[in-house]
Amino acid sequence: MKNILVLGAAGQIGSELVPYLRNIYGNHAVVAAYRSTPLPEAIMESGPCENMDALEAAKLHEIVKKHKIDSIINLVAVLSAKGEGNPPLAWKINMESQLNALEVMREVKGAVFTPSSIGAFGPTTPMDNTPQDTLMRPSTVYGISKVAAELLADYYHLKFGVDARGVRYPGIISNVTLPGGGTTDYAVEIYYEAIKSKSYTCNLGAGTFLDMMYMPDALRACVEIMEADPSKLIHRNCFNVTAMSFDPEMISAEIKKHIPEFRMEYKVDPIKQAIANSWPNSMDQTSAQQEWNWKPEYNLKSMTEDMLKVLAKKL
Ligand code: SER
């Protein structure tokens, strides 16, 4: 990647990926694109930014030309739980942003990274050690759009030579920008509430195991897959990646090691619970390990230490 356009730069991943990329590729090589949510000041001040809508193809073409973009990181998405509230909107945003990114990179023979998700799997997928290549019949509009986006990315690679690559992220835990409308959001909120009120009401039930990853690993995975030697890639869109699998009881127990007064109770949200039940308990990431040497660094223990330290200062 040389000149990178990050779509959805104000979101949970984008707000941390832009500074991470600017550090590696140079401030002027990374354009942060946002629509309604304002960008953090540090991003506004450290490099180029564009206020635009990823669904407007003509504007996207113009910005790609203006900044000589060769790589698009497409982080625009309506997440799983929010998508269930407005399926047509989730479909439109998730699919049109992907189509536009692939189309514009077709013209310049560029690269596209679009994250897929554990949400691309469904109730008929094997739940444990979920294989890289398996049955994918998701039961959310978010998941359906993610499978379609994976297929579209492979199609643009095959037919038009677009260097499309991606990973299936698990739930991502971070401390800069809150996620919005995801099923795995509880695993972020619980740390904020542990610091603020020493208690948390969890909307997923005990025993709900899901794959998770700490943001530093997620950022590194994005760059590592995009910079991987293409001759070694058997898969492209998208690789299973994970760092840990836990249920609410385990994260709560880990927090209690630092905050013994911490208390968690349950008030299960049936929509989120049904979504979580349809997703893997833990994914097999052998293909990512073998094809581009992927290895996560953080586990539940080291992530919890860092999250609580950072949030105690921030809050
Ligand atoms: N974190 C996302 C969600 O819960 C999963 O990709 O929707």
Task: Provide the CATH number for the domain around residue 204.
Answer: 3.90.25
Q: Residue 21 domain-assigned?
A: yes
Ramachandran sector of residue 181 (left: φ over 0; alpha: ψ -120 to 50; beta: rest): left
Q: CB atoms < 10 A from the CB of 181, how many?
A: 16
Say yes or no: 73 and 190 in one domain.
Answer: no
What are the tens digits of pLDDT across the range 234-285? 999 999 999 999 999 999 999 999 999 999 999 999 999 999 999 999 999 9
The reply to whether 188 and 42 lie within a common domain is: no
Q: Which two tokens stand for residue 201?
A: 């009401």
What integer pLDDT is reported at residue 219 of this predicted model? 98
Q: In this structure, which long-range contacts are made by residues 104-108, counting pairs with CB atoms below 8 Å and at least 24 apart in sequence?
A: 104/57, 104/60, 104/61, 104/64, 104/72, 105/64, 105/71, 105/72, 105/156, 105/162, 105/163, 105/164, 106/156, 106/160, 106/161, 106/162, 107/61, 108/64, 108/69, 108/70
Confidence at residue 207, expressed as pLDDT on a 0 to 100 scale: 98
Q: What is the DSSP letter of 208?
A: -
What does the pLDDT look like over 118-164, one tens digit per residue? 999 999 999 999 999 999 999 999 999 999 999 999 999 999 999 99
pLDDT bracket for residue 313 (50, 70, 90): very high
Residues 143 and 207 placed together within one structural domain of the fold = no
Task: Give the pLDDT score at 52.
Answer: 98
SS3 of residue 161 by DSSP: coil
How many angstroms is it from 51 CA to the middle of ligand 1? 25
Q: Tell me the CATH number at 97.
A: 3.40.50.720
Residue 138: inside a domain, yes or no? yes
Same domain, yes or no: 90 and 226: yes
Tell me the pairing of strands 128-130 and 282-283.
parallel
Choice from 121, 130, 184, 272 to test ligand 1 binding pocket (greatest atom count within 8 A of CB): 184
Total number of domains in the chain: 2
Q: Whose CA is nearest to atom 6 of ligand 1?
A: 117
Q: How confident is the model at residue 61 (pLDDT cuts 50, 70, 90)?
A: very high
The tens digit of pLDDT for each residue in 182-210 reads 999 999 999 999 999 999 999 999 999 99
Q: Which residues constitute the domain of residue 131?
A: 4-170+213-240
Are residues 203 and 226 located together in one domain of the fold? no
In a domain, 33, yes or no: yes
- Separation in Å, CA 246 to CA 182, 214, 222, 268, 280: 17, 13, 23, 17, 11
Whether 150 and 252 map to the same domain: the answer is no
Q: What's the mean pLDDT in 75-94?
A: 98
Active site residue 142: yes
Q: Is residue 257 part of a domain?
A: yes
Q: Enumerate residues lining ligand 1, CB below 6 A.
A: 79-80, 117-119, 142, 169, 171, 182-184
Say yes or no: 138 and 235 in one domain. yes
- DSSP single-letter state for residue 124: T
Confidence bin at 46 (pLDDT 50/70/90): very high
**pLDDT class for 56, splitting at 50, 70, 90?**
very high
Alpha carbons 34 and 14: distance in angstroms, whole number: 9
30 and 124 housed in the same domain = yes
User: pTM of the entire structure?
Assistant: 0.98
> Of 20, 34, 142, 169, which one is the catalytic site residue?
142
Within-domain flag for 291: no
